[in-house]
């Protein structure tokens, strides 16, 4: 499956589909990498368009074959109303095409593999349809010969469909189906044609895990690419591997023949082996499921909770002067910064912009309304807007303020694997929260427990787990550590 694609054709649905130009002014000209291949479109965006076109053409091929067969022999093979049967064939075919990855990077690279997967989806559709006929007698007595003719015509149309898409792939993407960024940090590697090469070591840029600004800058630099290949000095291997494992794209480190330990696979860049540290957090189908679920549920909740949100907003401005919403910069997906939204629960003059001071019981900074909305978790509801915008998910690792301390240590100083928790969008709720790991982090163990839950969630994600966490969240909306 295309584990590198960000499904980003529409900004509100998938996040920004174009190159983020908001790089810090201190970057040198050479470090402003761009994965743009055509106009303002990245390879990811072009692939999304081609995926949609390919799936659409395949579906039209099946529909066209059905209608053609029905027109040639309307009473011979299909005595039932054709739309009744077509209405079951189309959704089944689309479902099987997505699950069998008929539209993916591998399918675009190998014409015959893509065609094989499409025909496999069609075959699965036919088997399910035949089973439905047998169990429900849908369509009455259908000719097996006519049904076989429909299958063969569909295969012929699918062949033509994939031939057209193959031509489009070569015209639009050429050999650059996957946009690759090569970062040089004190070492070298010969890049292949079409790769973007940046000597970050020349500018002293490397993912110092104790400096979130450097990590964020490198994350922004790699945004829009599908694959990152790093050639670095030995001393920086660990830092780069952690950075790549926490990124939202595939990442590899160039290695020598005796260093192939600790990764998830072996890759290749020109004439050098690479150690694959990350293949990206989720497959395309899983990212689509999670994002659609987020949008549907968040939109419904905003509509249903609109009266409550208005009442809370009025109560906040009536209780203490200042804005209704509190905004704070936090670390999000791919270790890039975003601005989280919450109902303001503290007096304006006492708010903590970097979160270095956790709220305590009977905290004098918290307003009267703030005490209520914090105790009931109502202050978190504006993050539904973050979900709609694509900054957050309903379920995921909770985003922490930059100044958060575990005891007296910054979170990333406690455990450098902390950066890996950001490979997915942060969530309004998460596995750590339903297990009771909430509130202040007065000691190192408080963070370690949350980090362990976050990494467990990333390793075992599925839609059922998200549903379980959301349902369990209702039990902990009011909790003893909410103050």
Containing 325, the helix (H) or strand (E) segment is: strand 325-331
Tens of pLDDT along 267-293? 667 666 676 766 667 777 788 889 999
Three state DSSP letters for 54-115: HHHHHHHHHHHHHHHHHHHCCCCCCCCCHHHHHHHHHHHHHHHHHHCCCCCHHHHHCHHHHH
Tokens 């379920």 belong to which residue? Answer: 395
Could you read off the pLDDT tens digit of each residue along the chain, which spans 483 residues?
Answer: 444 333 333 333 344 333 333 334 334 434 445 565 555 677 778 888 899 999 999 999 999 998 888 777 655 555 555 567 788 889 999 999 988 888 888 888 889 999 999 999 999 998 888 787 777 665 556 666 777 888 899 999 999 999 999 999 888 887 678 888 899 998 888 887 778 889 998 888 899 888 888 888 898 888 878 888 999 988 898 899 889 888 878 888 887 655 544 555 666 676 666 767 666 677 777 888 899 999 999 999 999 999 999 999 999 999 989 999 999 999 999 889 999 999 998 888 777 666 666 666 667 788 899 889 988 889 999 999 999 999 999 999 999 888 888 888 888 888 878 888 888 899 999 999 999 888 778 888 888 899 999 989 988 888 899 999 999 998 877 666 555
Among the listed residues 313, 283, 292, the one whose alpha carbon sits nearest the alpha carbon of residue 378: 313
Tens of pLDDT along 11-50? 333 443 333 333 343 344 344 455 655 556 777 788 888 9
The residues facing 429 across adjacent strands are 395
Under 8 Å between Cβ of 209 and 239: yes
């Amino acid at each position: 499956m295309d584990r590198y694609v960000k499904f980003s054709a529409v900004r509100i649905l998938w996040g920004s589909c174009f190159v983020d130009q908001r790089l810090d002014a201190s970057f040198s000209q050479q470090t402003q990498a761009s994965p743009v291949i055509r106009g303002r479109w990245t390879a990811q965006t072009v692939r999304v368009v081609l995926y949609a076109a390919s799936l659409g053409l395949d579906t039209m091929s099946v529909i066209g074959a059905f209608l053609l067969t029905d027109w040639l022999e309307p009473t011979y093979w299909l005595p039932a109303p054709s739309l009744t049967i077509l209405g079951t064939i189309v959704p089944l075919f689309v479902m099987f095409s997505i699950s069998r990855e008929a539209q993916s990077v591998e399918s675009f690279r190998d014409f015959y593999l893509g065609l094989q997967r499409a025909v496999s989806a069609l075959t699965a559709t036919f088997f399910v349809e035949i089973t439905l006929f047998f169990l429900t007698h849908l369509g009455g007595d259908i000719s097996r010969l006519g049904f076989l003719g429909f299958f063969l015509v569909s295969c012929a149309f699918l062949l033509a469909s994939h031939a057209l898409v193959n031509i489009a792939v070569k015209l639009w993407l050429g050999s650059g189906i996957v946009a690759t960024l090569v970062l040089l940090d004190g070492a070298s590697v010969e890049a292949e044609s079409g790769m973007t090469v940046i000597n970050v070591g020349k500018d002293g840029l490397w993912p110092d895990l104790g400096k979130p600004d450097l990590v964020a800058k490198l994350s922004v630099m790699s945004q829009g690419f599908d694959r990152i290949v790093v050639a670095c000095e030995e001393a920086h291997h660990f830092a780069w591997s952690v950075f790549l494992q926490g990124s939202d794209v595939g990442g590899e480190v160039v290695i020598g023949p005796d260093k192939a330990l600790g990764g998830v696979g072996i890759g290749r860049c020109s004439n050098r082996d690479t150690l694959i540290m990350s293949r990206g957090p989720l497959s395309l189908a899983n990212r689509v499921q999670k994002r659609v679920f987020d949008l549907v549920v968040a939109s419904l909740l905003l509509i249903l909770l609109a009266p409550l949100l208005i009442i809370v907003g009025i109560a906040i401005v009536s209780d203490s002067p200042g804005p209704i919403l509190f905004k704070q910069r936090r670390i999000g997906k791919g270790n890039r910064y975003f601005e989280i939204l919450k109902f303001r629960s503290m007096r304006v003059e006492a708010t903590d912009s970097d979160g270095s001071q956790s709220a305590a019981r009977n905290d004098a900074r918290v307003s009267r309304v703030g005490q209520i909305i914090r105790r009931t978790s109502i202050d978190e509801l504006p993050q539904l807007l973050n979900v709609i915008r694509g900054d957050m998910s309903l379920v995921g690792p909770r985003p922490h303020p930059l100044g958060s301390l575990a005891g007296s240590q910054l979170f990333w100083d406690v455990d450098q694997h902390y950066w890996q928790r950001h490979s997915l969008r942060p969530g309004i709720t998460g596995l750590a929260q339903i297990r009771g790991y909430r509130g202040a982090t007065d000691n190192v163990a408080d963070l370690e427990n949350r980090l362990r839950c976050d990494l467990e969630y990333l390793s075992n994600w599925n839609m059922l787990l998200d549903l379980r966490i959301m349902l369990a969240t209702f039990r902990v909306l009011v909790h003893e550590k909410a103050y």
